Amino acid sequence: MFYESLILQIIRVFWLFLPAGVANMTIFLSKRINILDKPINTKLFGDHKTYKGFVVEIIMAIIVVYFQAILSQYMDQKYLIINYQSVNLLLVGFLLGFGATMGDLTKSFFKRKRGIKPGHPWPPFDEIDFSIGAILFLSLYFQIDYQLIILTIIVFGIVSLAGSYIGYLLKLREKIEIF
> How buried is 38 (Cβ within 10 angstroms: 0-12 exposed, 13-18 middle, 19+ buried)?
exposed
Round to whole Å and give the CA distance between 128 and 178.
Answer: 12
156 CB neighbour count, 10 Å cutoff: 27
**pLDDT of 29:** 65
Are 23 and 97 a contacting pair, CB within 8 Å?
yes
Residue 177 burial (CB < 10 Å; 0-12/13-18/19+)?
middle
Model confidence pLDDT, tens digit, residues 9-26: 999 999 999 999 999 888
Report d(CA 68, CA 19) in Å as an integer: 9
pLDDT in tens, 103-116: 999 998 999 899 88
Is the whole-model pTM more than 0.85?
yes
